[in-house]
Structure formats: structure tokens, C-alpha cells
Amino acid sequence: MDTKELISKLKRQLSKAILDSRPLGRTGGISLWVEAASLREVARTLAKEEQHPLDWLEHLSVMEIEGALVLSYFLRSTQTGMSLVMRCSVVPADAEAEVSVGSVVDVWPMAACFEAENAELFGIRFEGGTPVKAGLLPKGW
């Protein structure tokens, strides 16, 4: 199974959660755009995928584009090397408004530091995760 087959499978399983898939720059990789409200569900599905479990969160980046916050989760399978970028966007009500997105710490524990940093930088509240202060790892790390 390659990345395109994985995305086709996801579109069948989670049709309302998957918004689009696009090439990622010039890398030959794929970015998968998901509904922000379904972020955690898609994350769990990707991490538990049978042939290519995307079990490693390499990075979470956030950038502001035309008033929307775009979250990009850079994922990799430690078993097969497959990679994928999962993206979602949220639009704050105004420049000072806090936005909420589901936390993925329960899926990828390494997300704790990334979420803490982006919460501080962009005012994003990551719902349902283990709150940590920037620079601190959760217990057990």
C-alpha cells in the first residue's frame, strides 16, 4: 500500500472527516486536509493503520494564512518509513479570540511539547490532552 492507497482507504472510512489531499511541495509527499472537528479521530486511525501505522509525530507547525491558523502534523511510520502531513485549519472569530483544536497527545505523546509551544505562540487551546508547560515533558518520558 502506498500513500495514495492509504488516502483512498481513509476517504472510504472517514468520508466526512477528509476534506482533500494534495501534493506536498516538490517532495512527492502528500498532505491530507482534515476537518478540524475530526482531527483526533483521523489521528487515531492513522496511528493504528495496519500496514503503515503512522506512529511518530515528527513535528507540529502552525502558521497564519489570511486570518486562518493552519496546523500541519508531520507524521511517519517507524515500521515502514511512510510519511504524510495531516493538516487542518481554524479561523478565529477575531484577532484576539482563542481557538480550540483537539489534542493528539493520547495518540502521539511527543505532541505535548509541540502543543504547549503552539498554545503559547498562537493562543490555541488543545482540548482533551494533558496540559503541560512549554519545555516540560509528560510523566514517563
Q: How crowded is residue 121: how many other Cβ atoms within 10 Å of its Cβ?
A: 10
pLDDT classification of 130: cutoffs 50, 70, 90? low
pLDDT for the residue 134: 47
Q: How far apart are CA 109 and CA 122, in angstroms?
A: 21
Average model confidence (pLDDT) across the chain: 87
Q: How crowded is residue 100: how many other Cβ atoms within 10 Å of its Cβ?
A: 13
Give pTM, 2 decimals: 0.86
Mean pLDDT of the region 79-97? 90
Least confident of 35-49, 60-74, 127-141: 127-141
Q: How far apart are CA 105 and CA 114, in angstroms?
A: 10
Mean pLDDT of the region 17-43? 89
Mean pLDDT of the region 59-87? 94
Give first-to-last CA distance, the chain, whole Å: 33
Residue with cell 502528500: 30
Torsion, Cα 11 35 116 98, to 10 degrees, reads 180
Mean pLDDT of the region 27-54? 92
Instruction: Name the helix (H) or strand (E) containing 43.
Output: helix 39-47
Evaluate if residue 62 carries a pLDDT over 60: yes
pLDDT greater at residue 38 or residue 9: 38
